[in-house]
Structure 1
Amino acid sequence: MRLGVTMFATDTSMPIAELARAAEERGFDSLYVPEHTHIPVSRRTPPAAGQDELPEEYKRTLDPLVALSFAAAATRRLRVGTGILLAAQRDPIVTAKAIATLDHLSGGRVVVGVGFGWNVEEIENHGVPYGRRREVARRNVLAMQALWRDDVAAFDGFEPSWCWPKPQNGPPVYVGGAAGPKLFAHVAEYAKGWMPIGGSGIRAALPVLREACEKAERPMAEVIPFGTRPTREKLDYFAGLGIEEAVATLPSGPADTVLPILDDYARLI
């Protein structure tokens, strides 16, 4: 079982390069960071996790690709990933170039977790109607994959084009979100796997995911429980389901808060 970690990287949290080095030194496989481009102060949308108030780190989140460049530069083998990239809120040509550049400079260590977003006003500020966010995210990911894959890439929205560098390993794309046929259709079409938050309900969801993959005539998608609070029993349970990687959540805080928890998780590796 490979174990990675995720933290809201902000301007007040433990510096991302220091966290990356600490994770690699302790044997972790990967480091993921989330994305929020901004948080409109109107707060029309309640927090996704049900809090009374949105936690401070949502307002202060670093750009994930810039942050991960520091993480990659500070390490040698640690995989660096977005968990998650808000694909509907990004220009696909610019983002494809940035991800491919990070992958090239890191020696092929990039993983792209993508999602659709939950903050209505944040999404709308990018000119995307909330009800179309899945459609726009799908289009943007497919466009990026064409740019990564093809020597002369063409897609609806841009003419046949050259775009280098090409990522070394894809890069692999994972879709985050709640289980269901709609989400699993996205996974089956254009992703290597599914990133469920936490890990509850995975056993019941696996047959639905397998059915979606069979319908798409592709291998079964990988599953990476994301943002979990790991225990030996939980990791053994995941392994029994055929899961090979989990990502543990860390608090967004200074080193003296983060490192003791990182040490506790490291005992599970």
Structure 2
Amino acid sequence: MKIGAVYFFTDDGPDPVEFGKAAEGYGFESLFFPEHTHFPLSRKTPYPSAYGGGELPSFYLHTHDQFIIMSMIASQTTTLKLGTGVCLLAQHDPIAKAKQYATLDYLTGGRVIAGVGFGWNVDEAEAHGVNWKKRFSIVRDKVGVMRALWNEEEASFDGPEASLAPSWSWPKPKQAGGPPIYLGGAGPTTMRHAAQWADAWYVVPPPDDPTLERVIPQFWSICDEVGRDRDSIKIAVASAPPDPAILEKYIEQGVDRAALWIDPADNPDQGMRNLEDVAKILPHFTG
């Protein structure tokens, strides 16, 4: 199982480039970058209990743009894979986003993972004009647009929620087929969408099932139900607890990648110490 990390980069935390270089130096295989564009003061949407519930953590309000920091870190690293973890794709134009992914993948020699998700903050999505009830099909069709642009010389796509007239677009991604699509989230609806069209299910461990021993069998059953070959899709874990015993359970169940949660910090030194502390478990898995 490949071991990566996920970190909320903010304007009061560690320097993203120094953090990324350190992560690569410690031996993390990948680094994932969350996204939130803004938070309307209305705060109609409560902070999900799956993420801890209660008051919204302040780091959500200070998060950097994921593609800018991915590009900066990419320029100063050589092997570290870079993942959007996740891109809230319903809130974006898929043609522009496809260009960003393709360019970064091309320039990094194929180091990009395209994590996408449906989101949880209704206020944020609606400010971008998203019809919340259609967010699942919107993301599905926008992924279809991106894949067409990545793979077709004369790209086109026709979906009910997003479409593309025949178009040219270069550069093409370095990875054959484009960056792998990781669909983030948990729950049966996300599982079904992942089984139908994603390259990997990027699951956030439910609070009552941190080892995923309950939900992974459910996911494989859904794959079988929709006719998806189990060998054609992977399971990755988002914000995995840096607990060796839990990570061993993931390995036993065939998880391909775990992105370990690094606690965000409101000062640079603490953020780097948090990274160093979690990195201490890496030798247990990498030898």
More deviation, 198-207/44-53: 198-207
- Quick one: distance in 2 between partners of 1:258 and 1:3? 19
* Number of the residue aligned with 1:161: 167
Please give the secondary structure, in 2, of the residue aligned with 1:260.
helix
- The alpha carbon displacement at 1:224 in A equals 1.3
Q: TM-score, normalised by structure 2?
A: 0.88
- Once superposed, which parts of structure 1, at least 4 consecutive aligned residues long, lie more than 6 Å away? none
Are residue 241 (structure 1) and residue 249 (structure 2) matched? no
- Quick one: distance in 2 between partners of 1:179 and 1:119? 16
* Number of the residue aligned with 1:8: 8
Residue 160 of structure 1 aligns to which amino acid in structure 2?
A: P
- Quick one: distance in 2 between partners of 1:144 and 1:24? 28
Cα contact 1:188–1:218 (8 A) shared by 2: no
Please give the secondary structure, in 1, of the residue aligned with 2:213.
helix
- Quick one: distance in 2 between partners of 1:57 and 1:266? 22
Cα contact 2:116–2:183 (8 A) shared by 1: yes
* Number of the residue aligned with 2:180: 172
- The alpha carbon displacement at 1:136 in A equals 0.8
Cα contact 2:205–2:211 (8 A) shared by 1: no
- The alpha carbon displacement at 1:207 in A equals 2.7
Please give the secondary structure, in 2, of the residue aligned with 1:40.
coil
- Quick one: distance in 2 between partners of 1:33 and 1:26? 18
* Number of the residue aligned with 1:135: 137
More deviation, 207-216/68-77: 207-216
Are residue 255 (structure 1) and residue 264 (structure 2) matched? no
Cα contact 1:223–1:243 (8 A) shared by 2: yes
Cα contact 1:47–1:53 (8 A) shared by 2: yes
- Quick one: distance in 2 between partners of 1:105 and 1:31? 17
Unpaired runs of 5+ in structure 1? none
Residue 209 of structure 1 aligns to which amino acid in structure 2?
A: F
Unpaired runs of 5+ in structure 2? 283-287
Are residue 61 (structure 1) and residue 63 (structure 2) matched? yes
- Quick one: distance in 2 between partners of 1:211 and 1:146? 29
* Residues paired across the two proteins, number: 268
Please give the secondary structure, in 1, of the residue aligned with 2:100.
helix
* Number of the residue aligned with 2:20: 20
- The alpha carbon displacement at 1:236 in A equals 1.2
Are residue 51 (structure 1) and residue 53 (structure 2) matched? yes
More deviation, 102-111/242-251: 242-251
* Number of the residue aligned with 2:217: 207
- Quick one: distance in 2 between partners of 1:262 and 1:10? 15
Root mean square deviation of aligned Cα? 1.6
- Quick one: distance in 2 between partners of 1:179 and 1:36? 21
Cα contact 1:228–1:247 (8 A) shared by 2: yes
- Quick one: distance in 2 between partners of 1:143 and 1:212? 25
Residue 151 of structure 1 aligns to which amino acid in structure 2?
A: E
- Quick one: distance in 1 between partners of 2:84 and 2:195? 19
- Quick one: distance in 2 between partners of 1:211 and 1:165? 38
- Quick one: distance in 2 between partners of 1:12 and 1:236? 34
